Amino acid sequence: MLNRRNFLTAAVGVAAAGTLAACAKEDGGPSDSSSGGSKAITLGFAQVGSESGWRTANTDSVKSAAKEAGIKLQFSDAQQKPENQISAIRSFIAQKVDVIAFSPVVVKGWDAVLNEAKAANIPVVLTDRSVESDESLFVTLVGSDFTDEGRRAAKILEKVLEKAGHKGKVKIAQLEGTTGAAPAIERAKGFKEVMDAEHKDDWEIVVSQTGDFTRAGGKQVMAAFLQSNPDIDVLFAHNDDMGLGAIQAIEAAGKKPGKDILIVTVDGVKDGFIAMSEGKINAIVECNPLLGPQLMEVVKKVHAGEKVERWIKTKESDFMQDQAKDALPTRKY
């Protein structure tokens, strides 16, 4: 997987991407100018799916930003299946789109199709998630630092525990994202880094399992957690939707979410803020889904053969329960 902290220093892929964009124009692709003026840029975008409120907001952002930017969007929903994304990317290559962008379902398995895009002189931009692949096969990543989000979740949990007056050992349940997906891997990694460095003797992850980033998955897995570990103190959910599903399971078990079990999630979707304002979620680490405008800016630059940074980060914040009511009216997603 890409080392996100060294991402901005890598230059090989940028240079290669600039060459690809230039070659696309020279080869007479769909972006060529004519006496009547240049054609609109065509972007092929392969989305993960619609598994969560975050993903829905991300899709809406991409679609609206493309329309605003005058970019022709060819959109595909992979329904959380890597093979569907690969098929979509191959379809984009066959259509000779100008630029391909996608948010990889998982980190592995992309070399073949990315090499096909390279051979077709079509530059590729990653959005939201990274891949484990040759960095020369894509231009840049537009998205968040998931490892840092995991660290921030651990640090804000310290504040949550202090505010709740919790003393002694902390038994933590972890609802992981989709197995093999970058946010699941990196959020778990960042959280554990802080836990091992600062709370080795008092924090323990007693149970951890994927809820596949869905509300239904969060509910089902949390119900199983409570059967096997009824004395859980804390839930760390890799996204709001799994946390919201877990709240249903906690309430069904006769416990109070946010009190009997303290809850920290990642994303910051509106439903998460509503739950936080009701005292059912204690803290949320924001992951901004509104990547559309940044993506379209990058697409234009890549199409023009301009250099871009290897990692274009989104700006994010952390929120605790006492901030929820003030922040809720400003939620855009």
pLDDT at 14 (0 to 100):
38
What pLDDT sits at residue 22? Answer: 38
Contacts of 218 (CB under 8 A, 6+ apart): 175, 211, 237, 241, 242, 243, 244, 245, 246, 249
pTM for the structure as a whole: 0.87
pLDDT given for residue 17 in this prediction: 40
Q: Which residues of the chain have pLDDT under 70?
A: 1-38
Q: What Cα–Cα distance (Å) separates residue 119 from each residue in 46, 113, 123, 268, 310?
A: 19, 10, 10, 39, 21
What pLDDT is stored for residue 261 in this prediction?
98
Cβ–Cβ < 8 Å for 1, 126: no
Residue 315: predicted pLDDT: 87
Which H/E stretch holds residue 126? strand 124-127
For residue 29, what pLDDT is reported? 38
**Distance (Å, whole) CA 21 – CA 40:** 15
Q: What tokens does 14 get?
A: 């940028």
**Quick check: 148 and 5 in contact, CB under 8 A?**
no
pLDDT tens, 246-292?
999 999 999 999 999 999 999 999 999 999 999 999 999 999 999 99
- The number of beta carbons lying within 10 Å of the beta carbon of residue 200 is 9
User: In 10 A of CB 279, how many CB atoms?
Assistant: 13
From CA 41, how far away is CA 134, in angstroms rounded? 26
